[in-house]
Amino acid sequence: MQYQALVAYERENGVFEQVVTELNSDNLPAGEVLIKVEYSSLNYKDALSATGNKGVTRKYPFTPGIDAAGYIAESHSSRFKEGDQVLVTGYDLGMNTPGGFGQYIRVPTAWVVPLPLGLSMKHAMIHGTAGYTAALALQRMLVNGMAPDQGPVLVTGATGGVGSISVLLLDHLGYEVSAATLKEEKHDYLRRIGASEIISSAELKDTTDRGLLSGRWAHAIDTVGGDILSTVVRSTKPFGNVAVLGLANSSLLTMPVFPFIIRGVNMLGVNSAETPYDLRVQLWKNLATFWKPEIPEELVTEVSLGELKPYIEKILKGKVTGRVVVKTGEG
């Protein structure tokens, strides 16, 4: 089958370029199911793959896209039949297995989640890895005792993909949400998606060596890392949970241990790519039912494969607001 894909090429001068290219599904890697991709989405990691980050993708030319939703086109699995609606997020998709920025993917059955009732393929990709990661962070915090009456929950990098869906979900579930952002012009957006307090990330950052700062938040979801994460952990109230999932600011964390040994704060790691399958299926069902807030239109930008390139550059600079959904199907 001939199909279109946004392919990242490594040119001789070490420059990476993304070009919409015609490919053939016979050249996809082995796998039990061939999926006709209708929607994908843009995540920070996709931009790293598309621009030559070899920690994400080793060999080029390569088709990025860690998310895909579509129909089963061919199945050698007893679990799926032709025409089933499915989604794939994470695992190796879009890292070293050609991903959702192509109109076809071929993957192992073990990666494939049936599209839950109540979610369209587009809605599933509005969430994509970003929404799934927000859901996983929530689940980790709920298991560790988070409840709405304990006080505000902070979300950092709040206008980004994971940040926006985190704000939306927490508000939907009855939490008071504080949102930290670098984007001064997006405060009204954050209020409209559910934040009740907006904080400037630049002002939030404490670079002193104080082991504890005054407790401001009951819990937090951090998408940015570095000094901001250190400040967030030192400002979390006793027995609070801090879900740690991103590095948009920095991958390094240097801080004293006092929040852990004096306040009993928990740092909870979030790995969306490798979550056990049963938990993954359950969280997608949650997102289709009682964790299903209305998605405000302004949270979503829909683009075609041909329109995706500028958004790849934008997300690397932290300039994307909300979620970029990629319509790969023609229909």
Ligand X SMILES: NC(=O)c1ccc[n+]([C@@H]2O[C@H](COP(=O)([O-])OP(=O)(O)OC[C@H]3O[C@@H](n4cnc5c(N)ncnc54)[C@H](OP(=O)(O)O)[C@@H]3O)[C@@H](O)[C@H]2O)c1
Kindly list the residues in this chain that would bind ligand X in the complex (CB under 6 A).
Answer: 43-45, 129-130, 133, 157-163, 181-183, 201, 223-224, 228, 245-249, 270-273, 315, 318, 320
For ligand X, the closer CB: 4 or 65: 65
For ligand X, the closer CB: 8 or 23: 8
Please report how close the Cβ of residue 64 comes to ligand X at its closest, in angstroms.
13
Please report how close the Cβ of residue 182 comes to ligand X at its closest, in angstroms.
4
For ligand X, the closer CB: 35 or 245: 245
Q: Are 246 and 225 in contact (CB under 8 A)?
A: yes
Q: Are 105 and 93 in contact (CB under 8 A)?
A: yes
C-alpha–C-alpha distance, residues 87 and 249, integer Å = 30
Distance of CA 269 to the CA centre of its chain: 14
Strand, helix or coil at 6?
A: strand
Q: Are 77 and 106 in contact (CB under 8 A)?
A: no
C-alpha–C-alpha distance, residues 18 and 155, integer Å = 32
Helices 277-288 and 121-143: crossing angle, nearest 10°?
A: 110
Gyration radius from the chain CA atoms: 20
For ligand X, the closer CB: 84 or 281: 281
In the 8-state DSSP scheme, what is residue 235? T
- Closest to 231 measured CA to CA, from 269, 266, 201: 201
Please report how close the Cβ of residue 89 comes to ligand X at its closest, in angstroms.
9
Question: Strand 241-244 vs strand 219-222: parallel, antiparallel, or unpaired?
Answer: parallel
For ligand X, the closer CB: 36 or 280: 280
Residue 4 bridge partners (DSSP): 22
Longest dimension (CA), the chain: 61
Please report how close the Cβ of residue 163 comes to ligand X at its closest, in angstroms.
6
Distance of CA 45 to the CA centre of its chain: 9
Count of CB atoms situated within 10 Å of the CB of 114: 15
Please report how close the Cβ of residue 320 comes to ligand X at its closest, in angstroms.
5
Please report how close the Cβ of residue 115 comes to ligand X at its closest, in angstroms.
20
For ligand X, the closer CB: 218 or 245: 245
For ligand X, the closer CB: 130 or 218: 130
Please report how close the Cβ of residue 193 comes to ligand X at its closest, in angstroms.
11
Please report how close the Cβ of residue 66 comes to ligand X at its closest, in angstroms.
8
Q: What residue is closest to ligand X based on CB?
A: 160
C-alpha–C-alpha distance, residues 308 and 296, integer Å = 21
Question: How many Cα atoms within 13 Å fall on the side-chain side of residue 131?
Answer: 30
For ligand X, the closer CB: 6 or 245: 245
- Name the amino acid, one letter, at 156: T
For ligand X, the closer CB: 110 or 202: 202
Please report how close the Cβ of residue 203 comes to ligand X at its closest, in angstroms.
12
